[in-house]
């Protein structure tokens, strides 16, 4: 396992962090849950029918012990309390009957466990779409005060190298305010991975070398971000090479606080971010860890439906680390 995750495991182990796994019958989920419980890394809550989940684990060759809690929404004793809390959170937009039906959905049920303080975070998406995972989080947990939208980052890892790329998963066409918020949240995420953030706001222009509405959007984002977080080492707009290569930075942005030493890269659009991280992953042989959702009041993270058990294990460590950071 990469040193990044060894460090995360050491950070969260023994801290009694509880993570919900709504997809209780998925073999990748159960394999990771069994490992997390056996290693005493965190306390897993698996959503599903008790008998079916236990039987599935046996078919996979292991036994789920008392370290793994299994909750069935259909028999949950606290459902009345959850329904009332959900109706209140949705500000009367749902009837009691609708609420009871909605909360039988494992993602909504699991998200309410997090919202009600019965768990610290949630990991889903192995068998559900991103929308199925994110929608309940946005409706129930919601974004932090001052943050308009959640965003998705990848930690790009290759040997000892670690970089943060955002937003590569959620916002198709972020405006200047969105980009500023994404930059600040991404800097906080970087610290969670022991990366001292040096943030570059990316464009196809460096310090005015081209002018267009697209470049002006990034320039304005830099201004907003510096106003919101003046202590943060951040600058732009940069072409990637000016943010990453010292000799290029010296020529193109000699007066910038970023001198080819950025480690947090904010892309101007989802299109650019998604293409960028996949180029680094496939051509640069970086491991792309994520997407990690940020900006929410409590951590919810989305797996790829093509994930394996190792991916589930790693994202669980990340979610637990986010939960610990939120408690501090």
Instruction: Return the closest-CA partner of residue 229 out of 166, 187, 269, 264.
Output: 187
Report pLDDT digits (tens) over 65-85.
778 999 999 999 999 999 999
Give the model confidence (pLDDT) of 228-263 as tens digits.
Answer: 999 999 999 999 999 999 999 999 999 999 999 999
C-alpha angle 229-233-236 in degrees, rounded to nearest 5: 95
b/e map of 6-27 (b: 16 or more CB within 10 Å)?
eebbebbeeeebbbbbbbbbbe
What angle (nearest 5°) sits at the alpha carbon of residue 201, between those of residues 324 and 190? 20
Choosing among 3.40.1260.10, 3.40.50.620, 3.40.50.10950, 3.20.20.70, the CATH entry for 3-142+296-327 is 3.40.50.10950
Q: What is the DSSP letter of 230?
A: T
Instruction: Check: CB of residue 103 under 8 Å from CB of residue 136.
Output: no
- H-helix or E-strand containing 216? helix 213-228
Domain boundaries of the chain, sorted by first residue: 3-142+296-327, 151-287
Among the CATH numbers 3.40.50.10750, 3.30.750.24, 3.60.110.10, 1.10.10.10, which is that of 151-287?
A: 3.40.50.10750
- Report the alpha-carbon distance of residue 182 to residue 246 in Å, rounded: 25
- Topology match between the domains 3-142+296-327 and 151-287: yes
Per-residue pLDDT of the chain (328 residues; tens, 9 = 90+): 678 888 889 989 989 999 999 998 999 999 999 999 889 899 999 999 999 999 998 888 887 877 899 999 999 999 999 999 999 999 878 999 999 999 999 999 999 999 999 999 999 988 888 888 989 999 999 999 888 889 999 999 998 899 999 999 899 999 999 999 999 999 999 998 889 999 999 999 999 899 999 999 999 999 999 999 999 999 999 999 999 999 999 999 999 999 999 999 999 999 999 999 999 999 999 988 888 999 999 999 988 888 899 989 999 999 999 999 888 7
């Amino acid at each position: 396992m990469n040193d990044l995750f060894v460090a995360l495991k050491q950070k969260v182990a023994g801290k009694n962090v509880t993570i919900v796994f709504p997809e209780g019958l998925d073999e990748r989920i159960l394999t990771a849950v069994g490992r997390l419980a056996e290693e005493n890394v965190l306390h897993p809550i698996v959503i599903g029918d008790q008998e079916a989940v236990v039987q599935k684990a046996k078919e996979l060759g292991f036994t789920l012990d008392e370290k793994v809690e299994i909750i069935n929404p259909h028999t949950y004793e606290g459902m009345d309390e959850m329904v009332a809390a959900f109706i209140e959170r949705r500000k009367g937009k749902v009837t009691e009957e609708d609420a009871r039906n909605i909360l039988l959905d494992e993602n909504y049920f699991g998200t309410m466990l997090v919202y009600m303080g019965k768990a610290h975070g949630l990991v889903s998406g192995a068998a559900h779409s991103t929308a199925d995972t994110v929608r309940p989080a946005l409706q129930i947990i919601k974004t932090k005060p001052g943050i308009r939208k959640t965003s998705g980052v990848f930690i790009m890892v290759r040997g000892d190298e670690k970089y943060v790329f955002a937003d590569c998963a959620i916002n198709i066409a972020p405006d200047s305010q969105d980009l500023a918020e994404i930059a600040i949240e991404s800097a906080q995420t970087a610290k969670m991975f022991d990366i001292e953030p040096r943030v570059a706001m990316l464009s196809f222009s460096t310090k005015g070398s081209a002018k267009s509405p697209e470049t002006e959007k990034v320039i304005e984002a830099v201004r907003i971000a510096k106003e919101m977080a003046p202590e943060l080492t951040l600058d732009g707009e940069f072409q990637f090479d000016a943010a990453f290569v010292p000799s290029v930075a010296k020529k193109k942005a000699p007066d910038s606080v970023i001198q080819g030493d950025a480690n947090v890269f904010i892309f101007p659009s989802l299109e650019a971010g998604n293409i960028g991280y996949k180029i680094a992953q496939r051509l640069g042989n970086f491991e792309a860890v994520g997407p990690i959702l940020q900006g929410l009041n409590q951590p919810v993270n989305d797996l790829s439906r093509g994930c394996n058990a190792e991916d589930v294990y790693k994202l669980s460590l990340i979610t637990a680390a986010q939960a610990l950071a939120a408690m501090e």
